[in-house]
Amino acid sequence: MEIAFHLKKFKQIKNPKFFFKHIKKFYGEKIKSLYNNYDAFFQYEGGIYIGNEFCLHLLPTADELKKIEDKNTKITLLTPPLTNKGLKKCAYLLDHLIKFNKPQVVVNDWGILLFIKKNYPKLKISAGRLLNKAFKDPRLSETQKDKFFTSSTFDNPNFCKLIKSLGISGLEQDILPYQNISEFHIKEDTLQSFYFPFGYITTGRVCLTALLQKNKANALAIADKCAKPCSSRLLELKNDSFLFSVFQKGNTVFYLYPASMLEAFVEKAKNKNIRMVYQGDIF
């Protein structure tokens, strides 16, 4: 198992254990086994993730990419679903990304996949979380047990054949909120990347947090530009029917994995062909 870090702004990770201090923000001392067994769990470095899967405004600029001097940095660019205009913006970034050694792009719509295959055939491609549909409603009654709640698009054998035919080499996903970790099957033939400590529930182009930058009423709309008030803000959605903690970050709603779930997952996944992507830095 390897570990990668999704960073808000690029910086070299000199000591990967930096995240110990960071993740304590979310769990305190509850996941001690993760701290204590870091070297046993994470044998390899999965590199740096930049960009964003949910919002075009959170993509890095080409200048930010240019500033990364070490072109051997193992780098993954997360891309959101894109309009035709967004594809053009992203192409400018991809022109710089290909200068790195074996860069990877995470795609979250089928169009950008085709676009990359046509125009940047050497880029490694991974299928993003937004392509992986599953049930994540936080209001489910705990008594309901069904395969529907513990499987997803990526589990279907037809999908696995499709991604091979399309040259997709990785699958990005969340630990599903109703997943029974002991029954969870880890695929060995494709690199699977699991994000932590948050999984996503829902998203859209209309951003509640962006409203903070606007003074006028009636301002909930798809924005052409954004001052990114989400960079420092995190809101919690509270309702008695929610079975786990639910948060709004920018335009997206997330759930925080319970400590026991994360610990059990990491224990099960150690020594497997798995990447854990730490995303706490962007929250």
Partner 1 sequence: MKVTAPISSIKEIEMLIELGADELYCGFNTDTWQKKFGVCKINRREPKGACINSELELLCIVKTAHKNNILVSVAFNSPFYTAEGISYLLTLIEKLIKEISIDSVIISDINLLIALFKKKIPINIHISSLGNCFNSETAAFYKEFGVKRIILPRQLNFYEIKEIVKNTDKKIEFEVFALNDGCYYEEGFCLTSHTPEAFCMTEYQLENSEFAKKKTEERKLKNLKKELNSYLWHQNNCGSSYQKNGFPNGPCSCCLFGNFKDIGISALKIVGREASFYRKMTSLKMVKTVLDKAASGAGNKEIAEFAKKMRNTEKYCDTGYVCYFGAGNISDK
Q: Which uninterrupted H or E stretch holds 169?
A: strand 168-173
Tell me how many degrees the CA angle 150-26-245 measures, rounded to the nearest 5.
50
Query: Least distance from C-beta 70 to partner 1, angstroms?
Result: 28
The CB-of-251 to partner 1 minimum distance in angstroms stands at: 8
Give the residue with the Cβ less far from partner 1, 65 or 112. Answer: 112
CB of 213 to partner 1, least distance (A): 11
Helix (H) or strand (E) holding 274: strand 274-278
Phi, psi of 52 (to 5 degrees): -160, 145
Return the structure tokens found at 26.
Answer: 């979310």
Least spacing, CB of residue 207 vs partner 1, in Å: 11
As a whole number of angstroms, the distance between CA 101 and CA 111 comes to 24
Separation of alpha carbons 146 and 178, rounded Å: 10
Residue with smaller CB distance to partner 1, 43 or 231: 231
Cα 105 to chain centroid, rounded: 12
Supply the Cα-derived Rg of the chain in whole angstroms.
Answer: 18
Report the nearest approach of partner 1 to the CB of residue 133 (Å).
4
In 3D space, the residue among 26, 16, 20 whose CA is nearest the CA of residue 244 turns out to be 26
**In the bound complex, what is the minimum distance in angstroms from residue 270's beta carbon to partner 1?**
27
The four Cα atoms 242, 150, 111, 187 give a dihedral, to 10 degrees, of 140
DSSP for residue 178: T
- Amino acid (one-letter) located at 5: F
Report how far residue 261's alpha carbon sits from residue 257's, in angstroms, rounded to the nearest whole number: 6
Tell me whether residue 65 or residue 207 sits nearer to partner 1 (CB atom). 207
CA atoms within 13 A on the CB side of 192: 18
**Residue number, 57 or 100, with CB nearest to partner 1:** 57
CB of 2 to partner 1, least distance (A): 25
Residue closer to partner 1 (CB basis): 42 or 283: 283
If the CB atoms of residues 68 and 112 are measured against partner 1, the closer one turns out to be: 112
249: left (phi over 0), alpha (psi -120 to 50) or beta: beta
Nearer to partner 1, 75 or 94 (CB): 94
CB of 228 to partner 1, least distance (A): 12
Q: Could you tell me whether strands 252-256 and 191-196 are parallel, antiparallel, or unpaired per DSSP bridges? A: unpaired
Which residue number, 40 or 220, has a Cβ lying nearer to partner 1? Answer: 220
